[in-house]
Amino acid sequence: MKYLLGIDFGGGASKATLLSEIGDIVAESTTEYPTLYPESGACEQDPEDWITALCENTKVILEKSGIDPSCIAAVAVDSATHTYLACDKNYKPLRNAVHWTDSRSRVQANALREEFGEEIFEKSYHKPDTIWTLPQLKWLSVNEPDTFSKIGYIFFEKDYIRYFLTDVYCTDYIEAQGSMLFNCNTMDWDDKLCELAGIDRSVLPPLRSPTDIIGAITEKAAKTTGLAVGTPVICGTTDTVMEVFASGAVEKGNVTVKLATAGRICVITDKPYPDRHLVNYSHVAKGLWYPGTATKAAASSYRWYRDTFGGDYKELDAAAKDIAIGADGLVFHPYLNGELTPYADPLLCGSFIGVRATHTKAHFTRAVLEGVSLSLLDSKRYLDGLGISYDSVATLIGGGAKGKLWSSITADVLGIPLRITESSDSSLGSAMLAGIAVGIFKDAKTAAELCVKVMDTVYPNKENTEKYGVIFEEYKRIHDALAPIYKER
CA distance 356 to 122: 49
pLDDT confidence of residue 489: 82
Helical axes 361-385 vs 299-309, angle rounded to 10°: 160
- Helix and strand numbers (H, E) in the chain are 16, 21
DSSP string, 136-185: HHHHHHHH-HHHHHT--EEEEHHHHHHHHHHS---EEHHHHHTTTSEETT
- The answer to whether 59 and 223 have CB atoms below 8 angstroms apart is no
Q: How far is CA 368 from the centre of its chain?
A: 20
Q: Which of 124, 129, 125, 84 is nearest to 106 (CA)?
A: 129
The helix or strand, by DSSP H or E, that contains position 403, with its residue range, turns out to be none
- The answer to whether 217 and 231 have CB atoms below 8 angstroms apart is yes
Q: What type of residue sits at position 132?
A: W
Which parts of 248-351 fold into alpha helices (H)?
Answer: 299-309, 313-321
Tens of pLDDT along the chain (489 residues) come to 999 999 999 888 999 999 999 999 999 999 999 999 999 999 999 999 999 999 999 999 999 999 999 999 999 999 998 999 999 999 999 999 999 999 999 999 999 999 999 999 999 999 999 999 999 999 999 999 999 999 999 999 999 999 999 999 999 999 999 999 999 999 999 999 999 999 999 999 999 999 999 999 999 999 999 999 999 999 999 998 999 999 999 999 999 999 988 899 999 999 999 998 999 999 999 999 999 998 999 999 999 999 999 999 999 999 999 999 999 999 999 999 899 999 989 899 999 999 999 999 999 999 999 999 999 999 999 999 999 999 999 999 988 888 999 999 999 999 999 999 999 899 999 999 999 999 999 999 999 999 999 999 999 999 999 999 999 999 999 999 999 999 988
Q: How far is CA 333 from the centre of its chain?
A: 20
pLDDT confidence of residue 261: 85
- The answer to whether 318 and 283 have CB atoms below 8 angstroms apart is no
Question: Cα separations (Å) of 113 from 110, 122, 142?
Answer: 5, 12, 17
Which DSSP symbol is given to 287?
T
Which parts of 207-296 fold into alpha helices (H)?
Answer: 219-225, 239-246
